[in-house]
């Protein structure tokens, strides 16, 4: 069974299901063919019986009836030997009944059964001999050649022998037909039994193939799916150490391989997250140390800030004194600016005077040069 399951799992589930459907359809066709074959056999036997034995039985029944009419009309002719009108009426009926017996005998002679055909030909021959032997006696009866019926009956004695023999042949044919009917019944029963046997064999074959293969296919599908479910449940609980290998090539094996790949990816991701967490822990420790250092520095800075605040207050007082001095300096600067403006006017006048002196010097130079 494990080897069979391993072999089955080398095919996809889709292909296995399609194969199962094809197998079931084939077995159904086999069952239908077995039943159809049995029905055809029984039908063939029935058709052969209807076309052969039954038809011959009906023909023989008609022959027996016609032969009985021949003998009955024969007796009517003997009884009415002294009535020409009655004799004529029954003679025509006797001739018609005799013709019917010959016709039925000829139809029986065409039977497929050799013994029945030979017996039918013998019946036709005996009826011919009977008609030939009875014809002169009947003509004598017609012309009043007999004084009474017993005499005429004795005259028909040789002809009646042929009729008796024909009746015996009819009984023989009836016995052969009865035997044929019994044979048909046995053949029909045998064909029916064969049909039942074929149906039973086909059904047994279907059960022997479908049930084990279906169970094996069911196990080959359900077991890997159960393993995949268990693996998914372990992954959901955080167990990433399990490894479920599968050597099949069907969809269930692909699912297990995908789950294994997902588990490997999750394992790598968890490892990376762990490394990142460790890195974060180290960085957190460093940050904590830095915070401690920063706190100490902050305390020092606060102390320095207090000292700076005192210095700032002193600086503020100095700035205020400097502002007062600056105001005084501003006033002095304004006075100096007025003085400078006045000095600038004086300088302007000096410059103008110097320009005039320069002009006069040039004129003097020109005069001296001329001289």
- Polymer length of the chain: 371
Strand ranges for 231-346 from DSSP E = none
Strand ranges for the chain from DSSP E = none
CA pair distance 298, 327, nearest whole angstrom: 41
pLDDT of amino acid 246:
63
pLDDT of amino acid 83:
79
The predicted model scores a pTM of: 0.48
pLDDT of amino acid 223:
74
Extract the tokens encoding 20: 């199962």
pLDDT of amino acid 172:
83
Which residue has 């250092």 as its token pair?
A: 293
pLDDT of amino acid 96:
92
Of 189, 133, 196, the C-alpha closest to 166 is 133
pLDDT of amino acid 138:
83
Of 176, 22, 171, 170, the C-alpha closest to 104 is 170
Extract the tokens encoding 194: 């064969």
User: DSSP secondary-structure letter at 143?
Assistant: T
pLDDT of amino acid 110:
81
Under a CB-based contact definition with an 8 Å cutoff, are residues 71 and 163 in contact? yes
Q: Which residues of the chain have pLDDT under 70?
A: 1-9, 49-52, 242-250, 252-253, 301-302, 305, 309, 312, 315-316, 319, 322-323, 325-327, 329-330, 332-337, 339-340, 343-344, 346-347, 350, 371
CA pair distance 58, 137, nearest whole angstrom: 32
CA pair distance 321, 284, nearest whole angstrom: 52
104 CB neighbour count, 10 Å cutoff: 25
Q: Is 25 helix (H, G, I), strand (E, B) or coil?
A: helix
Of 179, 153, 175, 191, the C-alpha closest to 77 is 153
């Amino acid at each position: 069974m494990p080897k069979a399951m391993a072999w089955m799992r080398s095919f996809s589930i889709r292909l296995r299901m399609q194969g199962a459907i094809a197998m079931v359809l084939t077995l159904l066709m086999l069952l239908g063919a077995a039943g159809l074959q049995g029905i055809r056999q029984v039908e063939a036997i029935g058709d052969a019986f209807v076309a052969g034995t039954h038809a011959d039985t009906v023909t023989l029944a008609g022959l027996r009836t016609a032969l009985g009419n021949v003998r009955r009309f024969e007796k009517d002719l003997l009884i009415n030997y002294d009535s020409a009108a009655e004799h004529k009426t029954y003679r025509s009926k006797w001739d018609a009944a005799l013709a019917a017996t010959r016709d039925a005998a000829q139809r029986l002679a065409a039977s497929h059964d050799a013994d029945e055909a030979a017996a039918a030909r013998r019946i036709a021959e005996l009826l011919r001999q009977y008609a030939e032997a009875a014809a002169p006696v009947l003509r004598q009866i017609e012309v009043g050649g007999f004084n009474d019926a017993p005499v005429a009956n004795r005259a028909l004695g040789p002809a009646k022998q042929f009729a008796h023999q024909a009746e015996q042949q009819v009984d023989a044919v009836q016995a052969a037909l009865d035997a044929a009917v019994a044979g048909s019944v046995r053949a029909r029963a045998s064909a029916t039994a064969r049909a039942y046997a074929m149906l039973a064999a086909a059904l047994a074959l279907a059960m022997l193939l479908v049930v084990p293969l279906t169970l094996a296919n069911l196990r080959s599908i359900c077991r890997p799916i159960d393993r995949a479910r268990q693996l998914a449940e372990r992954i959901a609980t955080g167990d990433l150490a399990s490894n479920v290998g599968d050597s099949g090539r069907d969809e269930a094996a692909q699912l297990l391989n995908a789950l294994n790949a997902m588990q490997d990816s999750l394992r790598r991701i968890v490892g990376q997250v762990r490394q990142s967490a460790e890195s974060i822990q180290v960085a957190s420790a460093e940050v904590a140390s830095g915070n401690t250092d920063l706190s100490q520095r902050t305390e020092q800075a606060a102390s320095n800030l207090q000292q700076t605040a005192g210095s700032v207050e002193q600086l503020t007082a100095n700035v205020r004194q400097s502002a007062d001095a600056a105001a005084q300096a501003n006033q002095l600067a304004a006075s100096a600016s007025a003085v400078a403006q006045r000095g600038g006017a004086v300088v302007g006048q000096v410059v103008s005077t110097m320009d005039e002196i320069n002009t006069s010097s040039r004129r003097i130079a020109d005069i001296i040069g001329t001289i």
